[in-house]
Amino acid sequence: MYRTLIVEDEPDEASRLIECIGRYGKAHDEQFQITWLKSAMDMLSDKSHYDLVLLDIDLPGINGMEAAQLMRVYDEETPLIFVTNLAKYAVKGYEVGATGFIVKPVSWGNLSMNLDRALRAIKQNSGRSVVVPTEDGMRVVSLNAIVYVEVTGHRLSYHLENGGFGSLCDKGLA
């Protein structure tokens, strides 16, 4: 099951995406658990981890491109597909490591091709990264970046190649 986030402020577009992803799932014998949020602020405050993110760029408040840049601070691994009517941002989308770019209105062929690419990336990265709960939420970390993990009482400290990002309390141990 792929935990999938759709960030789209237009209900009709979100419904179309949900319908197309469901069709893709049936055609490819895959299951998607879909969460729909209406703004980038909702996305950035959501502490859940998703396997795949479909993100509109033209959003109220913080736009999707800015949200993607912020997302990449704590998650460099999760495939991101931009779904937007702003084709002029296609090249900039790849600067934030976008897996794909779909221009609205969403077509079955374009969505299917982008989902094929995203699921290949997910399967390829499976076991190569870990989702680590932090005091601020979740962070996706490449296993290669972890130098060592230190346990002190009920606190875990993750030390990374780039200097680490601190500790967390494992509530399961408390």
Q: Are 134 and 49 in contact (CB under 8 A)?
A: no
Is residue 172 predicted with pLDDT exceeding 60? Answer: no
Cβ neighbors of 38 (< 8 A, separation 6 or more) are 7, 8, 9, 14
Q: Which amino acid is at 32?
A: F
Higher pLDDT, 142 or 106: 106
Percent of the chain with pLDDT over 90: 52
Question: Residue 140 has which token pair?
Answer: 């996706």
User: What does the pLDDT average to over 127-136?
Assistant: 68
Query: If we measure between CA atoms, which residue out of 73, 37, 70 comes closest to residue 55?
Result: 37
Taking only the tens place, the pLDDT of each residue in 55-103 is: 999 999 999 999 999 998 888 889 999 998 877 766 677 788 899 999 8
Same domain, 150 and 73: no
**Does 108 fall in a domain?**
yes
Same domain, 109 and 141: no
Is residue 127 predicted with pLDDT exceeding 70? Answer: no
Our count of domains for the chain comes to 2
Separation between Cα atoms, residue 24 and residue 141, nearest integer Å: 29
**Does 138 fall in a domain?**
yes
Same domain, 17 and 63: yes
Q: Which residue has the tokens 């949200």?
A: 67
**Does 143 fall in a domain?**
yes
Same domain, 78 and 143: no
**Does 174 fall in a domain?**
no
Same domain, 56 and 110: yes
Query: If we measure between CA atoms, which residue out of 150, 151, 149, 129 comes closest to residue 138?
Result: 129
Same domain, 159 and 109: no
Same domain, 28 and 113: yes
Q: What are the C-alpha distances in Å from 31 to residues 21, 51, 129, 131?
A: 9, 12, 21, 21
**Does 88 fall in a domain?**
yes
Is residue 149 predicted with pLDDT exceeding 80? Answer: no
Question: Residue 99 has which token pair?
Answer: 């897996």
Same domain, 62 and 90: yes
Q: pTM value?
A: 0.75
Same domain, 30 and 92: yes
Taking only the tens place, the pLDDT of each residue in 15-71 is: 999 999 999 999 999 999 999 999 999 999 998 889 999 999 999 999 999 999 999
Q: Which residue has the tokens 């789209």?
A: 8
Residues spanned by the domain of 15: 2-125
Residue that terminates a domain, selected from 125, 145, 161: 125
Same domain, 113 and 164: no
Same domain, 101 and 144: no
Same domain, 101 and 77: yes
CB burial string 21-36: b at 16+ within 10 A, e below: beebbeeeeeebebeb
